[in-house]
Amino acid sequence: MSKRVLIIDDDARNIFALTATLKAKSFACLSCSGAEEALTILKGEEPVDVVLIDMMMPDMDGYEAIPLIKEIPHRADLPVISVTAQAMAGDREKCFEAGADGYVSKPIDVDKLLLLLNTI
C-alpha cells in the first residue's frame, strides 16, 4: 500500500510538481493551499501518512501550523516534513524546533525527498 501524502503549499505550481513527482513514484497525494485548510482536513478522519508543508505561506506559515498539527490527538505522531526555500544557517534547526520530523530545501532534490519519505 502506498503512503498517502498531504501537500500543503500556497503555490499551485509547487503542488502540481510535487504531486506529479510523487504519483509517478506510487505515492497517493492530497493537497491544499493553506494551513487552515490542512488543519480542517487533519482534524477529520482522512487517511494521511505524512505531511509536506511549505514553511513560508501567507496567513499561517509552517512554523505556526506544525505545532497545531501535532496537537491534534490522532495526528500527534504524524510525520511532518518542512519544505522551504530558506536555506540559511539556522533555518533547518528552526524547522525542527517547530516540530518538523524532516526537512527539505527548495529546489527539491527528488532523490533526497523520496529517501526521507520512505524512511520516515
119 pLDDT higher than 80: yes
Give the confidence band of 2 by pLDDT, cuts at 50, 70, 90.
Answer: confident
Residues 6+ apart with CB under 8 A from 29: 4, 5, 6, 7, 18, 19, 22, 23
Residues 6+ apart with CB under 8 A from 89: none
1 pLDDT higher than 80: no
For residue range 7-53, what is the model confidence (pLDDT) as tens digits? 999 999 999 999 999 999 999 999 999 999 999 999 999 999 999 99
Domain 4-119 bears CATH identifier 3.40.50.2300? yes
**Residue 89 CB burial class (10 angstroms; 0-12, 13-18, ≥19):** exposed
How many angstroms separate the Cα of 24 from the Cα of each of 21, 41, 120? Answer: 5, 24, 19
**All structural domains of the chain with their residue ranges:** 4-119
**Rounded CA separation 64/55 (Å):** 9
For residue range 77-92, what is the model confidence (pLDDT) as tens digits? 999 999 988 767 788 8
Nearest Cα neighbor of 53 from 40, 72, 38, 75 is 38
Are 9 and 54 spatial neighbours (Cβ–Cβ below 8 Å)? yes
